[in-house]
Homo-oligomer: A and B are copies of this chain.
Amino acid sequence: MFYYAIDLLGTFAFAISGVLTAMNKRLDPFGIFIIAFVTALGGGTIRDVIIGVQPVTWLVNPMYFYTIIIAVFFAFFFREKLKYLRTSLFLFDTLGIGLYTVVGVEKGLAAGLIPLMCITLGTVTACFGGVIRDILCNEIPLIFNGTIYATPCVIGGISYFILKYFNVESDIIFMVPIIVVIVIRLLAVRYNITLPNIYKTKAS
């Protein structure tokens, strides 16, 4: 129940990030809804489809759909005030990628995949909604420009299997990686850490 609440909070935060990107591109109301939708559910959809979990999760459980509709209306009516909510939204989003990572890992395990592939699926679940959002808005995906976004997911996924290897209790195996993802992301943002720039000169 607690995790389900986090899941929907994450969906809410992802949807709002989609709305903001779409409004920035001045899309129409329908376009805004679609971008909110793919941002929130795109990663999980790719995960379900490549594993073979069909119909995909959101087709079977309409709560995700309702959450996104509420998020779109919320973002629309409070759009002038969203800047004051930036911190809350960032926290929801960070909670969301933490939870999405673990959900992805566990779906991989349920499909009988090896840890490497489970971690990949966790990262896809957490990050690829944003990738599709940026493609639909005709931008190079934001997470490819040095932001620490996928890295915490990968490390969180690794921590999951370290705990599992030591036969830690399953509640803790679920919770700790989420905290790992959140802490790494918060530290990265707080201390303004980015992935190393591998190019000799800055892009102009």
Contacts and interface: CB of A to CB of B under 8 A. Distances in A.
Given A49-B49, A55-B51, A138 B136 contact: no
A199 B30 contact: no
A131 interface: yes
B198 A62 contact: no
Contacts of A60: 113
Given A30-B195, A45-B50, A54-B51, A141 B136 contact: yes
Contacts of A30: 143-144, 150-151, 195
Interface of A: 22-23, 25-31, 34-35, 45, 48-52, 54-56, 59-60, 62, 65, 76, 108, 111, 113-114, 116-117, 120-121, 131, 135-141, 143-147, 150-151, 194-199, 203
